[in-house]
Amino acid sequence: MSTRTPVAERVPRLVVVVATAALLSGCTAPAAPDSPPSAPVEESTGEPQAPAAIALVPGGTAEENLPYFEQVIQQVVAADADAPGRTVVEALVAGGFAKESMQLTADETSIGLDADTVLVSVKLGESCLLGQYGPKSDGVHAVVAAPIATGACLVGRTVPLEG
């Protein structure tokens, strides 16, 4: 008796082995795609780069001048947390903003208490820069907003800023 398996029995097994091998060859990890050329790396001099200076953009939009507006207010408040609104206005004027385009809320309430917040605005074109600070403001906040229906930036009674 022969120990060899007849051909008729080996063919189906061979087909299964070949099919399994073909299926498994599709399970291999695909080749890594060619990596794009890398951008040149700037060499560091070891010295930290100073951030770009924030400055007034003369004739610029409210959006362009928002960082500078906020920075001026922050500098005043950092020097004196209880800075009166007129001090902020004078700093903004010194920084290049036009006083005639500004509005300011009062430092005191109508019953003589210190205001929780002070608002200052500068109208630039068809937009308003609005800044808020004070003991209940949790720091300085500034945004760009549309003027109200009257064309002004602030609602309610404001402090006259003549002279």
The pLDDT tens digits for 38-78 are 444 445 556 666 667 899 999 999 999 999 999 999 999 99
Could you tell me the two tokens for 28?
């291999």
The yes-or-no verdict on residue 146 having pLDDT over 60 is yes
Could you tell me the two tokens for 121?
């605005």
pLDDT digits (tens, 9 = 90+) for 86-121: 999 999 999 999 999 999 999 999 999 999 999 999
Of the pLDDT bands very low, low, confident and very high (cuts 50, 70, 90), residue 34 is low
Residue 10 has what pLDDT?
47
Strand pairing class (102-104; 141-145): unpaired
H helix or E strand, kind and range, residue 75:
helix 62-79
Long-range contacts, stretch 5-9, CB < 8 angstroms, 24+ apart? none
**Residues above pLDDT 90, as percent of the chain:** 64
Nearest Cα residue to 151 out of 124, 132, 133, 131 = 124
Of the pLDDT bands very low, low, confident and very high (cuts 50, 70, 90), residue 132 is very high
Using the Cα atoms of residue 142, residue 69, residue 160 and residue 80 in order, give the sign of their dihedral: positive
The yes-or-no verdict on residue 26 having pLDDT over 50 is no
Indicate the pTM of the whole model: 0.68
Residue 32 has what pLDDT?
47
Q: How far apart are CA 143 and CA 57, in angstroms?
A: 16
